Amino acid sequence: MLDRFVLSLIRPPLQVVARALVRAGVGANTLTWIGFASGIAGAGLIAQGMFGAALLAIALSRLCDALDGAVARLTQITDLGGFLDITLDFVFYASIPLGFALADPDHNALAAAVVLAAFVGTASSFLAFAVMAAKRDMHSLAYPDKSFYFLGGLTEGTETLAFFTAACVWPDHFAALAYGFAALCAFTLISRVRWGLQAFTQPKPTAVAAPQHE
């Protein structure tokens, strides 16, 4: 819900940093892998109870995630880059609740399982909509620079990062935060199913062969 607003604020400084990275020869996929490694390190730090360090690792991960797209747009946007970006993002998102479950299984395991189930719902609806949209040649006006159709919702990247940040700042309240965020994810899933019903109820228009003249 907040991604477009946040992106409009951070895009100018991102462009400055991205140009410097391009001049230094740093590629978009390299940034994607660095961001992923930093995010997984953050999950490991959470599992060890090092929440402050974990928050710094998560922040670095999300900075790289923002910069890889900016660098790609300055150089070349590729299908591989889009594939890696979304795949590694979802693995990162799942790793953070797992880290909290490992940090305190007695108090956090069930809440982590609930929020992971919610992530499955939001991720599957996001990807399924993108696949169907591609078949119909649909394009997102909200995110025209993305590699494929980006469907928004109540819980997007900004809200997820806010949840992770709050959990690292107040780790003793992870369970309550997780249940609340899972409820917001449920609203996102419901809204996406509704959008899918509206967008895909009608059959895809079929091409009509041009008449052949003898």
At 148, which CATH number?
A: 1.20.120.1760
pLDDT band at 212 (very low <50, low <70, confident <90, very high): very low
With H, G, I as helix, E, B as strand and everything else as coil, classify residue 24: coil
Whether residue 145 has pLDDT greater than 70:
no
CB 170 within 8 A of CB 191: no
Q: What pLDDT is attached to residue 147?
A: 58
Inside any domain, residue 213: no
Q: What pLDDT is attached to residue 211?
A: 36
Inside any domain, residue 212: no
pLDDT band at 210 (very low <50, low <70, confident <90, very high): very low
CB 68 within 8 A of CB 32: yes
Whether residue 214 has pLDDT greater than 90:
no
Q: What pLDDT is attached to residue 33?
A: 97
Helices (H) and strands (E) in the chain, counts: 7, 0
> pTM of this prediction?
0.84
Q: What pLDDT is attached to residue 213?
A: 39
- The total number of structural domains in the chain stands at 1
Q: What pLDDT is attached to residue 191?
A: 87
Q: Worst-scoring range by mean pLDDT, 33-37, 189-193, 195-199?
A: 195-199
Mean per-residue pLDDT for 69-95? 92
Inside any domain, residue 107: yes
Whether residue 8 has pLDDT greater than 80:
no
Inside any domain, residue 209: no
Residue type, 117: A
Whether residue 17 has pLDDT greater than 70:
yes
Inside any domain, residue 86: yes
Inside any domain, residue 214: no
Domain containing residue 47: 3-200
Top pLDDT among 192 and 180 is at: 180
Whether residue 55 has pLDDT greater than 50:
yes
CB 33 within 8 A of CB 55: no
The CB-side HSE value for 99 (13 A sphere, CA atoms) comes to: 26
Q: What pLDDT is attached to residue 3?
A: 57
What is the chain's mean pLDDT, rounded? Answer: 86
Mean per-residue pLDDT for 139-157? 63
Mean per-residue pLDDT for 24-46? 96
pLDDT band at 150 (very low <50, low <70, confident <90, very high): low
Top pLDDT among 104 and 200 is at: 104
Other beta carbons within 10 Å of 148: 18
Inside any domain, residue 176: yes
Mean per-residue pLDDT for 64-75? 92
Percent of the chain clearing pLDDT 70 (strictly above): 85
What is 29-94 written as a DSSP string? HHHHHHHHHHHHHHHHHHHTT-HHHHHHHHHHHHHHHHHHHHHHHHS---HHHHHHHHHHHHHHHH
Inside any domain, residue 53: yes
